[in-house]
Amino acid sequence: MSDIVQHPLDGPSFVRRILRSPSAAMGSAIVLLILCLALLAPVIAPYDPNLQETVNRLMPPSAAHWFGTDGFGRDLLSRIIYGARSTLLLLLFVVLIMAPLGIAVGLVAGFFGGIVERILMRITDVVMSFPRLLLAFAFVAIMGPGLVNGALALSLPSWPAYARQARVETERLRRSDYLAAAEMVGIKGIRLLYGHVLPLVLPSAIIRLAIDLSGIILAAAGLGFLGLGVRPPTAEWGAMVSEGTQVIFDQWWVAAVPGFAILITSLAFNLLADGLRDILDPRHV
């Protein structure tokens, strides 16, 4: 029974395990660096990201502009730093909508079973039957571009995977001796569900979420590339890549710099996800 009660999220040793994992430590360091850049953008950015200077348009990387300038003369380094804000904020909104919604549906379906489970799982199957990116693009096309609409478009088609995973684990835990012992001491209903089942379901949900984060970043960049993301002139990496494709053969840095930022951020979350899988999944210990 002790093996079921204890899980990797308990105790301060979790941080030490992250530091001992090379991939998790490297991914965490890069993610923290990007987060610091986003939070300190007004202090770190050398120029106003929306300042247009036509005399400096399409300048190559130099001492004055480390990453060069775009077609409007805006400093690319400043726009990359501010673009991290848009990407991480969109990512935060998606995480706050997608994971809690899916986990809640899965917990309720797996715990109560019967007609409740059948109804919730059929709804889940209907949502999963649609291609996620196609549904996201259709949603943004209908509702219009914007940060909130982009977050809703990316999160609403993505929660069923968390629901199905949480339902399977909750159904297995419902028949365990651990929950039977908790019910014998008077812990029942919602208190049992969210006080004892949820903590045991969270590790696997965190692993899936970490794995999905890089895909969410690429999907968000895809929305921006198609003009369905954050509204201009707000800096956004996908939109910056789209602008750079118009001059990619002569001024390659306009598209390469934001593309490299997307690559590094996705790689960081992939490394973090790989490390978290080794730490939180007992099958990889």
More confident call, 125 vs 281: 125
Query: Residue 143's pLDDT is what?
Result: 81
Place 6 in a pLDDT band, splitting at 50, 70 and 90. Answer: very low
- CA distances to 172, 178, 188, 276 from 4, in Å: 12, 7, 18, 19
Q: Name the fold adopted by 23-47+64-284.
A: MetI-like fold (1.10.3720)
The whole-number average pLDDT for the span 10-32 is 74
As a whole-number percent, the residues of the chain with pLDDT over 90 amount to 19
Q: How far apart are the C-alpha atoms of 92 and 41, rounded to whole Å?
A: 18
Instruction: Tell me the pLDDT tens digit for each residue of 194-226.
Output: 777 888 888 888 888 888 888 888 888 888 888
Domain locations along the chain: 23-47+64-284
What is the average pLDDT score of the chain? 83
Do 1 and 178 form a contact (C-beta atoms < 8 A)? Answer: yes
- Whether 184 has a pLDDT exceeding 90, the answer reads no
Q: How far apart are the C-alpha atoms of 237 and 283, rounded to whole Å?
A: 37
- Whether 9 has a pLDDT exceeding 60, the answer reads no
Query: Residue 198's pLDDT is what?
Result: 83
Q: How far apart are the C-alpha atoms of 128 and 64, rounded to whole Å?
A: 49
- Whether 45 has a pLDDT exceeding 60, the answer reads yes
117: Cα separation from own chain's centroid: 27
Q: Tokens 């696997």: give the residue.
A: 204
As a whole-number percent, the residues of the chain with pLDDT over 70 amount to 91
Do 196 and 190 form a contact (C-beta atoms < 8 A)? Answer: no
Tokens representing residue 233 in the block? 């002139």
The whole-number average pLDDT for the span 68-91 is 90
pTM for this model (two decimals): 0.82
**Closest residue by Cα to residue 275 from 284, 264, 263, 262:** 284
- Whether 11 has a pLDDT exceeding 60, the answer reads no
Instruction: Tell me the pLDDT tens digit for each residue of 110-121.
Output: 888 889 889 999
How crowded is the C-beta side of 225, counted as CA atoms within 13 Å? 15
